[in-house]
Each structure stands twice: as C-alpha cells, then as structure tokens.
Structure 1
Amino acid sequence: MTVTERQMMAGHNILSGENIDAIACVPDAQSMARGACPSLSAPMITGDGLLVRLRPKTPGLTIEQFRALAQAAERHGNGLLEITARGNLQLRGMTTESMAGLAADIAHAGIIPETGVTIETPPLGGLDPLEIADARNLAALLRQQIAALDPQPALAPKLTIIIDAGGRLNLDAISADIRLRAARAADNSTIWDLAVSGTAQTAKVIASFPAEQLAIIDLLKALALLGPRARGRDLDVDSLRMKYRSLDVSALGIAEQHVSPIGIHPLGSDHLALGLHPSFGQIQAKDLLRFLAIAEAAGASEIRTAPEHAMLVLGLGVQAAEAVQLAAADCGFRTRADDPSNHMDVCAGAGACASAFYATKSAAADLLDLAPELLDGSLTIHLSGCRKGCAHPANSAITIVGAPMGYGVVVNGSASSEPVAYIGKEELKFALAEMNRLVRNNKVAGESTKECLTRLGTDAIVTALRQG
C-alpha cells in the first residue's frame, strides 16, 4: 500500500462508523434519534443551508400546488428542488429564520406532509390498468391501524414499508424493511405476499395472506420490542414462517422486468403519464416554473414524483405529451429513457452538502464525457460525496465515494463499503478514462458493461485504476 493509500485509508476510517449517520440528517445531533430524516419540523444542515424532505399525503400535487412549492423554494431557500432516488421531494438552502415562512406557504397551498411510518406505494397507483389491486387503499388502512395503536410503537426513523400491487412502474428495485406484493390466488382472488428486509428479489419471504389477515401490525410490534433502532433484518424469519404458515408464495424472489419511469406511459383509453428526469435529480425553481406554465397550457392536471429521481406529468393527450416532452428538455429535464445520465446516481456534492468531499455534479459531467462505455444502462454508477450514500443507499456496480484525500472506489457495494482502491484528488479523470478503456478493449460481441466487468473481476478494475 502506498503512502497516499495509507493516508486515504486513515481518512476512510475517520469517516466510518455510526457517528456519520448520527449527524447526517439533523441540525443538532442531540435533538433527534440516529437515522432520523429531514422534515419541516427538523430540517437538516447542509453546505448550502437547511434541507427539507417532503412526502405529501396525496399521491400527487396539482399544477398550482407544485407551482406554490417552487415559489416557496425560491422565496425561502436557494430555489433548488430535488427528487430523491425513492421519489421524495427535497428543498434546499433555507435558514432558521425562513423555515416558518416555508411551512406556512406549504400549508397555504394545501400540501400536507406525510408523517409517521413511511409507507410507499407505486407512483401510478390507482391509474395503472396493469396493477392487480390499488395499493393506496391498503396503505390508508394500515396507517389507520398504526395510528390506533396505544401505546404508539417506538420504531426506527427510517423504517419503510412497501405495498406494491404491480403495474408498469413497480417498486421491485426499492429496498424495504417490510414489503407486501399483490398476487393472484388460484381462485383469482388477490393475495398479498409478505417479506422482510430487501428488494423484491432479495427480501426474505414469510407468508401469503388475504388483505383482511395481514400481519404487518404484529411485525411492527415485534420490531418495537427489539428496540427503536430495529429494522426488518433483525426479525427472526424462521420463527415468523413457522407462525404464519400459508400457501406457497411465489410472487417474491423474482423481480419483474424493469421499466424506466422516463418516457410516455399509456394508462388505457386516452390516458397517459409523461415521465421526466431533472438533470442529476435537481432543478432550479425558475426552470420548474417555466416548465409548469408550459405543461399547464397543454392540459396537464397533476404531477407525481417517482423513484429514480423521476417526475410524472398527468392529464396530457398524446400530441400534447410529445410537445411537452420536447419543451422539457429546454427546462432542465432529461426526457429519454436511454439517456446515459439516467444510469448515474449523484448526490448534491461539495458546495451543497457540508459532508461532501468533492463536486459530484462536475464529476458526473466528466463521467459522461470520458466514460460513455460505462453508461450503457446495464449498471448504475453512484457518485457519492461521502460515505453516507444519500443518493443511492443500496449497492451499485461502481461507487466513487469522497474521502479527505481524494476518492475511494467501491465495486458491487454501497458508499459505506470498503473501497477496493483509492485515487488522489487530481486523478479522477484519468481513472474514469482507464475504466472506460478497460471495458472498450475487453467487451466481447453482445456483452454488456456489467457482464464485461463481472467477467474481468475486481482485480482488473483495480489494475486499471492504478494505471490511471
């Protein structure tokens, strides 16, 4: 190991551990539990001021509500809005003094933030003719059941429940502590397959239930008994399987074919959804306001956010959707599912986040320019300013994570995983070019970048990085 690598490893160790998460999401590390997320009542300190994460109670917002949100972001913050990897809204750049005004404007617009246990449903719920059931109804019932518990269970702040009824834009790739997935029983009735800790492909299946017999409340009570930091991974799966013996479960363990939220999605009859992607998940309020005026004039009525940093515009006809899609490109949106930038997850980076060690947006531009072979859509590259990995908490094929002396490169891991190599602050462009050259020179006919890198193995990537 070189001196530089030892120095970076020391920096890496300083950044590791639970303290990072303890200070990540709150202005005062002592004021909230570890892992709590930014909200109107508890914004997070970042490099450009306070950040608020917002998940409205309603599936979407009207054009007027979205306009009010953009205006509030401009009036009380720095005008920058983000859509997270899980489809949450974020507003940046507020001050302690401006928070009251922001909250008042959001309330005046009729936007009510969701609180309590996070329950996620597909973004096109209730509109998609391909979905087996309406997950929103089950989510509403579950929220009522949780609210009725006395005493209220003390649960981990980031505990997440997914209720997925299928459809064109499902949540198979999103991880959750508890997940329900709709399936058809032999008699054509709807059953819900229950699993814990993971994506649709990796979660541990427990049992299958009709809607009226779901065991989610029991699982929440079990988690509460384990303590306020307990997550789905802490549940005793074997005991739960014995307790809830049921019919064979087959819907989980196999992910449906992924469909990008970007593009035009038919919803039956004359209805459709236009999916857009703010460049690197961010857009300035002035650009968003300009887009909203165009969309409203074309007949748009509602906007929903979606995973993968996406935004869905509803209420447009086919010709209008095509015209709005064209105009969106001039307002700061990516409009094609095959756009290479869709295959990068990029955090706010230095200048916008106090924890970040490098300018991730600049690095993303370099990646687009220097390493097009890596962005063929077969894998995701995560550019994380620090080890928290806010833009993509799950594993990625390649993660470039900021460190005090430069960058750590993680292969098939998350930003908090151990890097396979470290590169200096001035070496990133060379490293990207070398990884691109590695794929270009070794990819065989019909092989994707992911398949190529898997075949070559980690050692080949490390060698390329050292050459860079």
Structure 2
Amino acid sequence: MKGSFMVAADTQTMEDQACIPQGGAAEDDIASPLPSMVRGACPSLNAPMQTGDGLLVRLRPWTPGLTVAQLRALAEATEKHGNGLIEITARGNFQLRGMTPQSMPGLAADIDRAGIVPESGVAIEVPPLSDVDPSEIADARGLAQRLRNAIDSLHPKPALAAKLAIIVDGGGRVILDEISADIRLKAINAVDGRQLWELAIAGTQATATPLANLTDEQAIPGVITLVKALTAIGPRARGRDLDIASLQAQLPAAPHFSPVESATPASPVGLIPLGKQHAALGLRPAFGRIHARDLIRFLEVAEVAGVHEIRTGPEHSLLMLGSPRDRIEDILAAAVDCGFQTRADDPANYAVPCSGAGACASAHYSTRQAAADLINLGPDLLDGSLQVHLSGCAKGCAHPSPAMLTIVGAATGYAIVVNGSSSSEPVAYIHKEDLKSALAALGKLVRNNKAAGESAQQCLKRLGRDAIATALRQG
C-alpha cells in the first residue's frame, strides 16, 4: 500500500489530527491492540479505532483533491467494507465508518487501487483552494511542500507530538483562521508591496501568539527553529509549551510595515468566485456526514455537469472544481436532493453535533436528532452569530474550543454550558425529557430580549449566565 491511513477515535475535531486523545477508548475497546494504539500515538491501518458502530478510519489524501472517479471509488469501498457512512471532519479529513477487522484489508486494497495515496508525516494544512484561487496572497501549497521536505531532511529525525499541526495559510477566499494549530504561517501584504509571513504559535488566528513577520526566504527556517525547540522539549511538546521570549530572540527582527487590509473571506459553503471565469462550489453534508449511496448518486450529476476535482475544506465542506457557472444550478439541485447544505446562511451550519449515540459508545444521546430539533425551532438561536455544540459526553470531541452554548450529555440528562467547552462548569442541568423545551426556552429568551440590530450571541452575552439559567429552569 502507498503510505498509511491515519485512524482516529470517534470524533470530528479533537482527534482530527490523526491521534487518540487523553480519555480515549480503553484498551479492551480496540481491535487487535498494537503498540501504536497507546494513548497519544498515531494508529495506522493495521490498528484502527473501535467505535460504537465498528472501526473508524481517517484519511487525508496526499493530493490537493480527488477526481470524481476516485471519490466514487472511496464511497463504494466504504459501503462494501463498512456501513457506508462517510464524514468530512472540521479540518477537512475523510472519516470512513463501520469497518470490521475482517474488512480492513479489502478497504485498503480498494483505496490503493483507486490511486488514493494517504498523506503521512507531520500534519501541514493549507486552504483547500490554494493554487487555484487568484486572490491568494502567496503560494501556501508550494511553501508547505518545501517545509515538509525541510522537516523530513532534518538529522536526527525530530520526535514530534503525534497531534502536532502546522497551518500554512496563503490568504484568499477560503482561509483557515478558525482552525487551531501549534504553528501558524499566515501570508500578509504590506502597503509597500512586500509579502510577508506572520509566524505564530498555539491557537487559532485570533488566539495564537505572534512571534515574527518573516520574508518568504525566512519562513521555512523560522518554522524549523520552532520544530527544533519542540524536539528539545520532548516528544509530547506542543506549541503552547514553547518559550516565547527565547524564540523571539532567535528569530529575525520583525520588519516595520503597514499591512494592507485583506479581503473578506468567504464561507466554504456556497458559490466561491475564482476570478471572472471560474468558481468553486462548496457543499456541506448534513452535519458533516453522508451515506455512500447518496454521495455516489450526487457524483453522477456532478460529473455530467463538468466537475473534475473535489477537495475537502474546513467546516466539513466539499468543494467542487471545474464546472462552468451555467451548470451550477444543476449541481445545487442534486446536492439538496442528496442531503447537502448549499448555503452559507443555512442554520444547520451553526449546529455542531458529535457522532452521538449509536455511533460513539461514549455518547449519552442522539446529538444529530437534537441538532435537527434545534433547527426546526427556528432561527432565533441559529442566526449565524454563534454555534451550538451538541456533545454526547463531556469529552467535547466535535468542538473542543469554547462555544457560546454547549449541550453536554450525561447518564441522567444534560448539562448546559454557556461560553465554555463541554468540560466547563454548566449553568444548569436538565432532565432527559426536557431538551426540546429547554432549547425552545433559549430561543424564546433571545426572541423576547434581542435589541434592534443585536445578534443572538450579543443578546445572550448581555443577558448573562443567570438569565440563561433562569430561562432554562422555566423551560
């Protein structure tokens, strides 16, 4: 087999860096335990992760995207060797569900036969439209490949944390600002025409700590400096463990410059213009999951409409490339019929459920059904200003960072967390049978108290935890 699959626990974000987190499955839940399945290690195709609906495989292709034929082959292999469920993670990885130890060799052979080569080595992520987006400030994909080569050529080989993630973002229409990484390079333009790379560590674009602004020639040596510092700390070191002052002393002094205001980024869902003649179409499987049969049915229309490449993107998206604009409506109609979300303002984009009961052995409730119930209650909460994280348990795999509202499943009911993660202190507990009424009460609270021009998030922040807790009790 060309390369190796990355296999993960039953999540869509926390283990979205191809690793098992702390608090993951116990050893007796894992099929054919191997040394690679030690917590914190990166399992391979020979040691997939056992979940509530079978073995789970995560795959990020080495190529920027897949052809229609390759994605069709992937879907057919998932249905033949698993339960047919395919997920697109928040970071743009494929997850294939429901395999068994007996079916894994056939899955590997079919994917290899399709010419799909899994990415291996340190995780370096770039925006999905890098190299086709004319508004991209710098060539992120090219720099990422040079960086990967530089890391691979280090001697001795650096022992890096299994979950370590690097983002190289060249700007453009679809960016990776909301995805967390240990090391970030972000292209920026100066008013004097210079193009620089902002180097930062430990977080999203908004929360990461900036270290330096580097020229194109300085960018790779700058990241290598961080890689060596992580190696010196130890094989579990992450970006948050780096000494900022020490690193800044080793990096080139930041050049004085005035940045040019960048263009407003586009959602990865919807029509994304790529110049005057071309466009990408971003689609999102409902709550990040689609059955192989529906995907195959959609691909038949997409291929006829001229799609020649499909790339995964952030926010559980699939981006269609190649179709002329006059065929976009055909693709949109087929996408809706096959269960895709097609609009950036679709309320379903802002409900973030984990796999939930039935798919994950740790989940206490059907998170996807709860997400559907939330959407049916109307747009009061899901107005685009906030996300509601529906977590089947306290691990919070689908959205490990804080959310405005998090519904955490427990054995006897639900914990409601405000402006925190699934492990934060809840403002209230509700019984199992009260979830719908509690969600309705929160929607009513926003509807009755939102000031003119105020978003749902602004309203809830203004009202505060006590008002939210009171509304939940009354609901």
Q: With structure 1 as the length reference, what TM-score do the two structures score? A: 0.92
Task: Report whether the alignment pairs 1:101 with 2:106.
Answer: yes
Mapped to 1, the partners of 2:101 and 2:374 lie a distance apart of 36
Q: Determine helix, strand or coil for the equivalent of 2:37.
A: coil
| Structure 2 counterpart of 1:300, from 285, 289, 307 | 307
Task: Report whether the alignment pairs 1:229 with 2:207.
Answer: no
Contact 1:371 1:432 in 2 (8 A): no
Task: Report whether the alignment pairs 1:340 with 2:331.
Answer: no
Contact 1:402 1:408 in 2 (8 A): yes
Q: 1:413 to 1:38 in 2, by over 3 A?
A: farther
Mapped to 2, the partners of 1:367 and 1:255 lie a distance apart of 35
Deviations 1:67-119 (A, max 9, x none): 00000000110000000111111000000111111111111111111111111
Task: Report whether the alignment pairs 1:247 with 2:293.
Answer: no
Partner letter of residue 81 of structure 1? Answer: I
Contact 1:121 1:136 in 2 (8 A): yes
Name whichever of 240-249 and 271-280 sits farther off: 240-249
Name whichever of 301-310 and 22-31 sits farther off: 22-31
Q: Equivalent residue for 1:289?
A: 296
1:378-393 correspondence runs (5 A): 378-393=385-400
Q: 1:186 to 1:378 in 2, by over 3 A?
A: closer
Q: Determine helix, strand or coil for the equivalent of 2:105.
A: helix
Number of aligned residues? 450
Partner letter of residue 52 of structure 2? Answer: G
Partner letter of residue 193 of structure 2? Answer: N
| Structure 1 counterpart of 2:23, from 14, 20, 23 | 20
Task: Report whether the alignment pairs 1:50 with 2:58.
Answer: no
RMSD after superposition: 2.1
Mapped to 2, the partners of 1:138 and 1:398 lie a distance apart of 38
Contact 1:22 1:29 in 2 (8 A): no
Identity across matched positions, percent: 61
Task: Report whether the alignment pairs 1:271 with 2:278.
Answer: yes
Contact 2:49 2:55 in 1 (8 A): yes
Q: Determine helix, strand or coil for the equivalent of 1:65.
A: helix
Q: 1:21 to 1:258 in 2, by over 3 A?
A: farther
Q: Determine helix, strand or coil for the equivalent of 2:337.
A: helix
Contact 1:207 1:249 in 2 (8 A): no
Q: Equivalent residue for 2:448?
A: 441
Q: Determine helix, strand or coil for the equivalent of 1:96.
A: coil
Partner letter of residue 255 of structure 2? Answer: L
Q: Determine helix, strand or coil for the equivalent of 2:380.
A: helix
Q: Equivalent residue for 2:117?
A: 112
Task: Report whether the alignment pairs 1:131 with 2:136.
Answer: yes
Contact 2:191 2:259 in 1 (8 A): no
Contact 2:36 2:47 in 1 (8 A): no
Mapped to 2, the partners of 1:429 and 1:306 lie a distance apart of 32
Task: Tell me how far 1:357 sits from its aligned partner.
Answer: 1.2
Q: Determine helix, strand or coil for the equivalent of 1:51.
A: strand
Task: Tell me how far 1:404 sits from its aligned partner.
Answer: 2.1
Q: 1:465 to 1:175 in 2, by over 3 A?
A: same
Deviations 1:406-459 (A, max 9, x none): 211111122232322222211111111111111111111111101100100111
Q: With structure 2 as the length reference, what TM-score do the two structures score? A: 0.90
Contact 1:40 1:53 in 2 (8 A): no
| Structure 2 counterpart of 1:325, from 325, 332, 342 | 332
1:108-257 correspondence runs (5 A): 108-185=113-190, 187-214=192-219, 215-244=222-251, 245-248=253-256, 257=264
Q: Equivalent residue for 2:414?
A: 407
Q: Equivalent residue for 1:9?
A: none
Deviations 1:300-322 (A, max 9, x none): 10000110011101110111112
Contact 1:172 1:256 in 2 (8 A): no
| Structure 2 counterpart of 1:351, from 358, 366, 383 | 358
Deviations 1:333-361 (A, max 9, x none): 11111111011111110001112111111
Task: Tell me how far 1:60 sits from its aligned partner.
Answer: 0.4
Mapped to 2, the partners of 1:29 and 1:41 lie a distance apart of 8
Contact 1:345 1:392 in 2 (8 A): yes
Contact 1:38 1:52 in 2 (8 A): no
Partner letter of residue 127 of structure 2? Answer: P
Partner letter of residue 280 of structure 1? Answer: F
Partner letter of residue 472 of structure 2? Answer: L
Task: Report whether the alignment pairs 1:76 with 2:81.
Answer: yes
Mapped to 1, the partners of 2:49 and 2:315 lie a distance apart of 22
Mapped to 2, the partners of 1:273 and 1:283 lie a distance apart of 20
Contact 1:22 1:35 in 2 (8 A): no
Task: Report whether the alignment pairs 1:373 with 2:385.
Answer: no
Partner letter of residue 400 of structure 2? Answer: P
Task: Tell me how far 1:47 sits from its aligned partner.
Answer: 0.4
Q: 1:361 to 1:22 in 2, by over 3 A?
A: closer
Contact 2:417 2:425 in 1 (8 A): yes
Partner letter of residue 372 of structure 1? Answer: P
Name whichever of 144-153 and 22-31 sits farther off: 22-31
Contact 2:266 2:272 in 1 (8 A): no
Name whichever of 449-458 and 421-430 sits farther off: 421-430
Q: 1:266 to 1:371 in 2, by over 3 A?
A: closer
Task: Tell me how far 1:162 sits from its aligned partner.
Answer: 0.4
Q: 1:380 to 1:43 in 2, by over 3 A?
A: same
Mapped to 2, the partners of 1:110 and 1:366 lie a distance apart of 40
Q: Equivalent residue for 1:8?
A: none
Task: Report whether the alignment pairs 1:311 with 2:318.
Answer: yes
Mapped to 1, the partners of 2:255 and 2:93 lie a distance apart of 35
Structure 2: tracts of 5 or more residues without a match: 1-20
Mapped to 2, the partners of 1:19 and 1:86 lie a distance apart of 20
Partner letter of residue 328 of structure 2? Answer: A
Q: 1:321 to 1:26 in 2, by over 3 A?
A: farther
Mapped to 2, the partners of 1:379 and 1:248 lie a distance apart of 36
Mapped to 2, the partners of 1:410 and 1:29 lie a distance apart of 37
Q: Determine helix, strand or coil for the equivalent of 1:438.
A: helix
Name whichever of 115-124 and 237-246 sits farther off: 237-246
Q: Equivalent residue for 2:432?
A: 425
Structure 1: tracts of 5 or more residues without a match: 1-17
Task: Tell me how far 1:23 sits from its aligned partner.
Answer: 4.5
Q: Equivalent residue for 1:86?
A: 91
